[in-house]
Amino acid sequence: MANVIVVGAQWGDEGKGKVTDLLSEKAHMVVRYQGGANAGHTVIVGGETYKLHLVPSGILYPNVACVVGAGTVIDPAKLLGEIAMLQQRGIDVSRLRIALGAHVTMPYHRLLDKAEELRRGGNAIGTTGLGIGPTYTDKANRSGFRLGDLLDGPSFKTRLAEILELKNLILTRIYDVPALDLEAVYAEYVAYGEQLKPYLDNTALVVHEAIARRANVLFEGAQGTLLDIDQGTYPFVTSSHPVAGGACVGSGIGPTAIDRVIGVAKAYTTRVGGGPFPTELTDALGEELRRVGAEFGTTTGRARRCGWFDAVVGRLAARVNGLDCLAITKLDVLDALPELKICTSYKRRDTGEVLTEFPMDAAVLEQCEPQYETVPGWQASTAECRRFEELPANAQAYLKRIARILQVPISIIAVGPGREQTIVVEDPIHGPKRALVGGTGALLL
């Protein structure tokens, strides 16, 4: 029995979908705990590509129960569309349980997300435009709707009338956006409630019962550590808690139930949307990484910004998530490069100070220049490697260096998007727990 959190260790899109799918083979349940359809998790099995936004990446295994916890935000049309897509492709979705307490993205949330981004102009966050921030805003403001609310028509309508009155004032008077019609929104969302009813449940209890049965439960993070609203590069973050701690809050279980935390990181770094990115490459090399890594958003199709591996970011992720081990993905994307850089610290332009820990102050971060260690590339294909020893010597050295700098062992290496294009160095679910060996380095590659 082991309950494992899979968390993004960078700015999202690290390959959490692929890693969760891989680990699902040994899992009984996979739980999404935060975020919404802003997530885009790609799973490729037998040449078939699945792009999942709200449904956990364990859904492709017929015996794995899938849970969407109360910490998520749900756009019902998107969720129903995803369920229909999976059904059409022959996937049984009756194993899906969705939290009655998950908050609902309403049409005004999407409109406000886009209108607020327009108003921010040059300071736009570069959100996915799916209403994520405004949905979490209303949740925190106690003016949101939960999925369970859609099932009680009369009281839903009364509250919707009150809330929509204010939202329409904001839309029309501040943003010059046409008002929404109460009857139309009500009818649409009551219908969603009816369609989602068979899936709705007290999911905190469902997860608790699985843990009590000593099932293997995987918690699939969305977004990444640096997009966390508290630990990330605020305000250029999402509105939820992607970090490992979010798994407990968002799925309604206690921290003592967690056995392992696996951080997923690319062998380089990407970021989509605005905000600081110290190791970003804005030159031809950045373009090359984007082309070879097919770095275009799974949800929005936007080009992802690309740069070198940032060990300062990695150290932050190791610390705030309590990482036991790492899954390093997309190693193959670096195959052709003659040399590689790893950012080991930042140097402040204004004071000359060298920082090894990621600064939380945006003004300080702005002053930071990455300090690099240059290592030789391997200029050979890794895509067919299935054991660590089969990797070119310089690729092995690159990975070992990352593990040593972060003081976190690497348990999984991905060398291509397919499920089989993976090297499992050590069983991340049942292997030794790093915290128990005191991080002596004995487990490092």
Question: Which residue numbers are catalytic?
Answer: 13, 41
**By CB under 6 A, residue 227 contacts ligand IMO:** yes
Tokens representing residue 23 in the block? 């680990």
Rg (CA), the chain: 22
**By CB under 5 A, residue 40 contacts Mg ion:** yes
**Amino acid at residue number 13:** D
- For residue 262, the minimal CB distance to ligand GDP (Å) is 12
- For residue 107, the minimal CB distance to ligand IMO (Å) is 16
**String of b and e for 42-78 (b: at least 16 CB within 10 Å)?**
bbbeeeeebebbbbbbbbbbeebbbbbbbbbbbbbee
Tokens representing residue 419 in the block? 């499920």
**By CB under 5 A, residue 329 contacts Mg ion:** no
- Looking at 9, 16, 69, 242, which residue binds ligand GDP (CB under 6 A)? 16
* Structural contact between residues 236 and 47, judged by C-beta atoms closer than 8 angstroms: no
**Cα gap 267→203, rounded to integer Å:** 35
- Residue 128 interacts with which of ligand GDP, Mg ion, ligand IMO, none, CB < 5 to 8 Å by class: ligand IMO
* Structural contact between residues 388 and 400, judged by C-beta atoms closer than 8 angstroms: no
CB nearer to Mg ion: pick between 238 and 382: 238
Judged by CB under 6 A, which stretch of 36-44, 189-197, 209-217, 357-365 contacts ligand GDP?
A: 36-44
**By CB under 6 A, residue 242 contacts ligand GDP:** no
- For residue 419, the minimal CB distance to ligand IMO (Å) is 18
Residue where the block lists tokens 């999202």: 12
**By CB under 5 A, residue 56 contacts Mg ion:** no
- Residue 272 interacts with which of ligand IMO, Mg ion, ligand GDP, none, CB < 5 to 8 Å by class: ligand IMO
**Cα gap 29→94, rounded to integer Å:** 13
**Cα gap 97→197, rounded to integer Å:** 10
Strand pairing category for 422-424 and 410-414: antiparallel
**By CB under 6 A, residue 128 contacts ligand IMO:** yes
The number of CA neighbours under 13 Å toward the Cβ of 305 is 15
**By CB under 6 A, residue 7 contacts ligand IMO:** no
* Structural contact between residues 33 and 317, judged by C-beta atoms closer than 8 angstroms: no
**By CB under 6 A, residue 233 contacts ligand IMO:** no
Tell me phi and psi for residue 5, to 5 degrees. -100, 130
45 dihedral zone (left: phi>0; alpha: psi -120 to 50; beta): beta
- For residue 219, the minimal CB distance to ligand GDP (Å) is 14
- Residue 73 interacts with which of ligand IMO, ligand GDP, Mg ion, none, CB < 5 to 8 Å by class: none
**Cα gap 35→243, rounded to integer Å:** 11
- Looking at 126, 153, 377, 432, which residue binds ligand IMO (CB under 6 A)? 126
Contacts with ligand GDP by CB under 6 A: the residue count is 21
CB nearer to Mg ion: pick between 239 and 345: 239
**By CB under 6 A, residue 30 contacts ligand IMO:** no
**Cα gap 11→231, rounded to integer Å:** 12
State which of positions 411-440 bind ligand GDP (CB under 6 A).
414-417
- Looking at 135, 298, 344, 411, which residue binds ligand GDP (CB under 6 A)? 298
**By CB under 5 A, residue 286 contacts Mg ion:** no
Q: Tell me how many helices (H) and strands (E) the chain has.
A: 13, 20
**Cα gap 106→39, rounded to integer Å:** 18
**Cα gap 147→99, rounded to integer Å:** 7
- For residue 296, the minimal CB distance to Mg ion (Å) is 11
- For residue 281, the minimal CB distance to Mg ion (Å) is 20
- Residue 332 interacts with which of ligand IMO, Mg ion, ligand GDP, none, CB < 5 to 8 Å by class: ligand GDP
**Amino acid at residue number 288:** E
Instruction: State the residues that interact with ligand GDP by CB under 6 A.
Output: 8, 12-18, 40-42, 44, 298, 329-330, 332-333, 414-417
Instruction: State the residues that interact with Mg ion by CB under 5 A.
Output: 13, 40, 298
Instruction: State the residues that interact with ligand IMO by CB under 6 A.
Output: 8, 12-13, 38-41, 125-128, 130, 132-133, 222-224, 227, 238-239, 272-273, 298
